[in-house]
Amino acid sequence: MEASKVIHAIYTDDDVLMSAVKKVKSEKHHIEEIYTPFPVHGLDKAMGLEPTRIAIASFIYGCIGLTVAIVMMNFIMIEDWPQNIGGKPSFSYLENMPAFVPIMFELTVFFAAHLMVITFYLRSRMWPFKKAENPDPRTTDDHFLMEIAVHGNEQELESLLKETGAVEVNLVDKEEAH
């Protein structure tokens, strides 16, 4: 369930942010999201996010690319219009296979790379004409924003966040559940 009210705590330094995240986590509060102007190393671990599964997706996409290359070259060069490759008119896929290896390699990489990027965008809920979810434009410049759901404990949270070095703590209504 999405909370209707959230707290936005704003930091100006990634090291302060990191220790704040550890503090907030140790007090057993759930961090909804953190907006940063650049990737902060180790932040995902500190927030307790699950490790990414994109590597598995990438492996599967690579296998698909390899299969496409094999089937495609077999159709184009052997079945549909049999070709005499390198003066060896054997018209056998296996015997002409070395000529197809560069294509297999390239399509494996092509599929893995492109589909992985597309998957990443979709998983991050980024698609064309999407309205930015960023709650504060300063997080694209030099501020870090931590968003915490409130369950009637705003006083406690506010003082905790101030203590961790937040330069600003705002209680805001969340516009809509995304």
Partner 1 sequence: MYTFSKKLKTISIALMIIGALGVVYGFMTSHKSFDEVETMLAEEASHHGGGHGEDVAHAAPSHDEHASEDAHAEGGHADTVDEHTKHVEHVQHQIANRPWSAVYVAAFFFFMIALGVLAFYAIQFAAQAGWSPVLFRVMEGITAYVLPGALIVLAIAVASHFLGHNSIFVWMNENMTNPEHQDYDKLVAGKSSFLNLPWFIIRGLIFIAGWSLYRHFARKFSIAQDNADVNDNSNFKKSFRIAAGFLVFYIYTESMMSWDWIMSVDPHWFSTLFGWYVFASMFVSGITVIALITMYLKSKDLLPFVNDSHLHDLAKFMFAISIFWTYLWFSQFMLIWYSNIPEEVTYFVTRFADYKLPFLGMVVMNFVFPLLVLMNSDYKRIPWFVVMAGIVILCGHYIDVFNMIMPATVGDRWFIGIPEIGAIMLFAGLFIFVVFTALTKAPLLAKGNPFIKESEHFHY
State the nearest-atom distance from the C-beta of 157 to partner 1, in Å: 31
Which residues lie closer than 8 Å to 29 by C-beta, 6 or more apart? 148, 157, 160
Q: Which stretch binds partner 1 (CB under 8 A): 83-91, 109-117, 159-167, 169-177?
A: 83-91
Which residues lie closer than 8 Å to 136 by C-beta, 6 or more apart? 8, 10, 35, 143, 145
Q: Which stretch binds partner 1 (CB under 8 A): 7-15, 96-104, 136-144, 162-170?
A: 96-104
State the nearest-atom distance from the C-beta of 85 to partner 1, in Å: 8
The answer to whether residues 61 and 117 touch, using CB atoms and an 8 Å cutoff, is: no
Measured torsion, CA atoms of residues 2, 131, 9, 137, in degrees rounded to the nearest 10: -170
Map the footprint of partner 1 across residues 27-56, applying CB under 8 A: 55
Among 1, 39, 50, 87, binds partner 1 (CB under 8 A): 87
Q: By the criterion CB under 8 A, which residues form the site for partner 1?
A: 55, 59, 86-88, 98-99, 101-102
